[in-house]
Amino acid sequence: GMGLISYSAYLWHVPLLVFARHQHYNELSLSVTMTLIFCTFVFSYLTWKYVENPFRNKKIFSRRSIFISSLAGSLFFVAFGLFVSNIYKNNESEMAYTLSQNPVMVTASNVDERLFVKFRTQFENLDPDLLIIGSSRIMQIGNHNSKMNSLNLGVSGASLEDHIAILDLATSKFNPKIIFIGADPWLFNQNSNQLRWQVLRKEYESALYKFNKGNVVVGAQNLQADKVLNKRDFSQNTRFLRGKYT
């Protein structure tokens, strides 16, 4: 009866509905809806017969075997996750070089985007007319839709410090005709606690040093320790960007 497969139906209908909405852009026709209902019943019945029922049979699966199997499966997925997460760990330099030699590159999601952008400015051999800086909101902009020779150096959740550091890195090497900046709502939030920018702390401090002293300094290693700004200065950040773009 319906009661026997109700739990399986509850589990199946959500992923089926989500997948269908994704494929059809949230516009589900009557035929698609009826197909989803039919598939839900079919998958629910098969799950009840070949998964639920066997697990209820103590002759086939004892508590001990279920526990051992669950533990082994959990350990496998944890080990697999750790393995995958370390494949590209601390490998941003190599990936940046690879991208400079190839038009497309597929990588894992555990990349430090700020380090990747830093190394990309070092290895990139393009001469971009359009330089794009900002957060993940503008990562979609590139050669395919800008109609210009573009270089996108956006990073997720870019803060004001990220903008300053990446801008200085990029303009020290490239001479773009246009600089496009994604001014996200949080960009000028004086109370922002976003600290991912600290990966580029030396580059950020170097940029502010040049701006304040009017000197061109190559590399953060040339800075004198007592002249480096050791804390965030919101008003100074704002003046820096205004000085660059006005």
* End-to-end Cα spacing for the chain: 72
| pLDDT computed for residue 225 by the predictor | 30
| pLDDT computed for residue 105 by the predictor | 63
Tell me the mean pLDDT per 10 residues along the chain, length 246.
84 90 78 92 92 79 80 88 68 74 66 88 88 88 83 89 91 90 77 82 88 48 34 53 54
| pLDDT computed for residue 216 by the predictor | 37
For the record, the structure tokens of 211 come out as 């701006």
| pLDDT computed for residue 223 by the predictor | 35
| pLDDT computed for residue 61 by the predictor | 72
How does DSSP assign the chain, residue by residue? -HHHHHHHHHHHHHHHHHHHHHHTTT---HHHHHHHHHHHHHHHHHHIIIIIHHHH-TTT--HHHHHHHHHHHHHHHHHHHHHHHHHSTT-HHHHHHHHHHSS-----S---HHHHHHHHHHH-----SEEEESSGGGTT-SHHHHSS-EEE---TT--HHHHHHHHHHHHHH---SEEEE---TTTT-TT----GGGGGHHHHHHHHHHHHH-----SGGGS-GGGS--S--HHHHHHHHHHHH-
| pLDDT computed for residue 40 by the predictor | 94
Domain boundaries, the chain: 2-87, 112-245
| pLDDT computed for residue 238 by the predictor | 57
Output the pTM of the full model: 0.54
| pLDDT computed for residue 200 by the predictor | 92
